[in-house]
Amino acid sequence: MQSSHSTFEILFICTGNQCRSAVAEVVTRSLTEGLPVAVSSAGTGVAQPAPSPKRTLKAASTLGYELGEHRSRPLADEQFESVDLVVGFEMAHVAAAVIERGADRAKTWLLPQLVGMLERLPPDAPSIPAPTEAEPVARARARLEAADRLRSSASPMLGDQIADPMGRSAKTHLATARTIDDLCKRMVTLLLSSRPNG
């Protein structure tokens, strides 16, 4: 992931980078098209590039997203210096990013946890500046910092994890993809919209 400081960079992490983080990447990239946002994904257990399984491909397609070109990437290849937001789906993903790869803990979240904290922010919080529409990156960084301050007294809960659908039924793959689709839509609105709660 290489981009200028004027770009808000998001990295999704799961285990194999074939299901959860792959879906989150394609959803978020679709939602932020035309905005100064760069989106990528990686896996903690990737040995070599591999496509998403057919059930994930079908689930994504059902929701209107194309994952056919996706190939998994190892987390070890990622550089975290310029990444604004690291999003995992299990505590192990967050731990791998922070402990093994040196990601900034303040910028590393479980997806449901992040959305939950962003939704708790008051729309007129004094800690959140109100940049112009041309400054979504500054707005996103400010909201992320405010969310991190809010979670300082709270611990991640097991309910904030999203289980790996790999090897499970097509119904499970679709349910997982729907959950991630919904959370990513809420996340993008809460981070980048000029009036996320209005």
In this predicted model, what pLDDT tens digit does every residue of 137-178 receive, in sequence order? 888 999 999 999 988 766 656 578 999 999 999 999 999 999
The whole-angstrom separation of Cα 48 and Cα 168 is 22
Side-chain-side CA neighbours of residue 163 (13 Å): 9
**For the chain, how many structural domains are there in total?**
1
Q: What letter represents residue 188's amino acid?
A: V
CATH of the domain at 180: 3.40.50.2300
DSSP code of residue 42: E
The whole-angstrom separation of Cα 54 and Cα 60 is 10
Specify if 162 maps to a domain.
no
Specify if 163 maps to a domain.
no
Specify if 198 maps to a domain.
no
Specify if 144 maps to a domain.
yes
Task: State the pLDDT at residue 56.
Answer: 97
Specify if 182 maps to a domain.
yes
Helix (H) or strand (E) holding 12: strand 8-14
Specify if 114 maps to a domain.
yes
The whole-angstrom separation of Cα 23 and Cα 70 is 10
Specify if 40 maps to a domain.
yes
pLDDT at 44 over 70: yes
Domain of 31 in residue numbering reads as 8-120+134-152+175-192
Three-state DSSP class for residue 107: helix
The whole-angstrom separation of Cα 175 and Cα 125 is 34
Task: State the pLDDT at residue 156.
Answer: 56
Comparing 8-22, 39-53, 72-86, the range with the smallest average pLDDT is 72-86
Specify if 166 maps to a domain.
no
The whole-angstrom separation of Cα 114 and Cα 184 is 10
Q: How many helices (H) and strands (E) does the chain have?
A: 6, 4
